[in-house]
Amino acid sequence: SQTIHQWPATLVQPVGSPLSLECTVEGTSNPNLYWYRQAAGRGLQLLFYSVGIGQISSEVPQNLSASRPQDRQFILSSKKLLLSDSGFYLCAWSASGFSYNEQFFGPGTRLTVL
Amino acid sequence: GIQVEQSPPDLILQEGANSTLRCNFSDSVNNLQWFHQNPWGQLINLFYIPSGTKQNGRLSATTVATERYSLLYISSSQTTDSGVYFCAVGAGGTSYGKLTFGQGTILTVHP
């Protein structure tokens, strides 16, 4: 069966510091991968998605970037964190091939920028 | 882009009561999912239901794609049902499976 991991689970960082959040998926090949952010406990916003290694699409302009160095690894980064980057970050995957495939989420990373 | 509206925004129930949550969407979809977010933030897949009706224990869901809405039914609610329920939809074409989420319904079940 498929499993999705995220780390760290929680993170407290000062403003201006760098960020690296990691997501890995097990038990599937060539998944579609997604990064979402949830602010204030309501509604998730899609940040990035990837349909293959090195292929990243951004949904909203922001202080963050994403990379996919391996088939089942998705990384969210920032060079300098802002207060507004605080939130709950969730990684998700779906099977490749069809846009209507069911999506599954990881446990999330709670980021606080001070 | 596609708009998703959920109602009610908040719902308070006594244990054992039944409830109906609604999700309206503004355009044709080829993916509709219901999630339950637990107190630790984990999104738990409840239903994948772009059309039709499904049931899983005390929960059931119906999506009427032609009228652009979906309903989630919770029967004989329990305190463990508390949390936030999200509806999320995906369009076709080159959407690559991207989901648009509603703002959620916060359900509180009292013993």
User: Which is higher by pLDDT, B103 or B91?
Assistant: B103
- Calculate the CA B86 to chain-centre distance: 5
- Calculate the CA B57 to chain-centre distance: 16
Cα distance between residue B95 and residue B111, in whole Å: 43
Structural domain including A9 reads: 3-113
pLDDT tens per residue, range B61-99: 999 999 999 999 999 999 999 999 999 999 866 667 789
Q: Which of B31, B38, B86, B98 to mutate to test the interface with A (most CBs of A within 10 A)?
A: B98
Q: Which CATH number fits domain B4-110: 3.40.50.10800, 3.40.190.10, 2.120.10.30, 2.60.40.10?
A: 2.60.40.10
Which residues of chain A have a CB within 8 Å of the CB of B61?
none
pLDDT at B94: 63
Alpha-carbon torsion (B19, B24, B29, B35), positive or negative: negative
- The pair of three-digit structure tokens given for residue B73, joined into one six-digit string: 């039914």
CB contacts < 8 A, A to B, total: 76
Q: In 3D, which of B91, B66, B72, B81 has the Cα closest to residue B34?
A: B72
For residue A31, whether the previous peptide bond is cis, meaning omega lies within 30 degrees of 0, is no
B91 at interface of A, judged by CB pairs closer than 8 A = yes
Stretch B43-48: mean pLDDT, rounded? 97
Would the CB atoms of A46 and B99 count as touching at under 8 Å?
yes
**Residue at A32: amino acid letter:** N
CATH code for the domain of A68? 2.60.40.10
pLDDT tens per residue, range A8-42: 999 999 999 999 999 999 999 999 999 999 987 67
Contact in structure between A103 and A89 (CB atoms under 8 Å): no
- Taking the CA of residue A80 and the nearest CA in chain B, the distance in Å comes to 26
pLDDT at A43: 85
| Phi, psi for B108 (deg, rounded to 5) | -120, 125
Residues B101, B51, A32, A85, Cα dihedral to 10°: 0
Looking at the structure of chain A, the number of domains it has is 1
Which residues of chain A have a CB within 8 Å of the CB of B93?
99
Which residues of chain A have a CB within 8 Å of the CB of B88?
44, 103
Domain ranges of chain B: 4-110
Chain A residue with CA closest to B103: the answer is A43
Contact in structure between A82 and A113 (CB atoms under 8 Å): yes
Cα distance between residue A80 and residue B109, in whole Å: 42
Cα distance between residue B108 and residue B79, in whole Å: 8
Residue bearing tokens 């990373």:
A109
